[in-house]
Amino acid sequence: MAVVQTRDLTKVFKEGQLGAVNNVNFETREGEFLVFLGPSGSGKTTLLRMIAGLETPTSGEILIGGKVVNDLSPRDRRIAMVFQSYALYPHLSVYKNIAFPLKAQKVKKELHKQKVEWAASLLGIGALAAGFRLSRATHAGQVRANLNAWQRGYGHVSTS
């Protein structure tokens, strides 16, 4: 894990208009789980896309592990983001969605199961990751409910 920091990070899509992200400053702690909450259009996705390297900031700096990464490709930043949608790749199982970044970063295959189980346990979706199939609506609702409960500090919510 690495500390992520932004310094006066700004993204303006149309010159002369208010930016989608304006002078954002924050610094995570080592191992911290950080969630950005806000209404639609408030800049959450734009901020995450800039940190991930998928969007170029208009101004400001992004630091990962104390190093400015503004000019690094997304792959070289070695960071990932979780989308609001219930699954990154709807055609893949929950397990395969969680394992996808591990495969992309060439993590040894024998470590995938352990890492996927850890992540699924953290989110309280162990049964989903174990391969049980639920409807799209149930799946999305279960993931959101577990994330919401976790954010409120209630800890693990069982999927059984």
pLDDT for residue 39 is more than 50: yes
User: What confidence tens digit (pLDDT) does each residue in 124-137 have?
Assistant: 777 777 764 444 54
Per-residue confidence (pLDDT) for residue 12, from 0 to 100: 96
Q: Which of 46-50, 66-70, 102-106, 134-138 has the lowest mean pLDDT?
A: 134-138
Q: 125 with 94: CB under 8 angstroms?
A: yes
Q: How confident is the model at residue 103 (pLDDT cuts 50, 70, 90)?
A: confident
Residues 90, 38: Cα–Cα separation, whole Å: 25
Q: In this structure, which topology does domain 4-77 adopt according to CATH?
A: Rossmann fold (3.40.50)
* Mean of pLDDT over the chain: 78
CA angle 145, 48, 53 (to 5 degrees): 140
Question: Which amino acid would we find at residue 114?
Answer: Q
Rounded to 5 degrees, φ, ψ at 15 are -55, 135
- 19 contacts 11 by C-beta, under 8 angstroms: yes
Domain residue ranges in the chain: 4-77, 94-152
CA separation for the pair 62, 25 (Å, rounded): 10
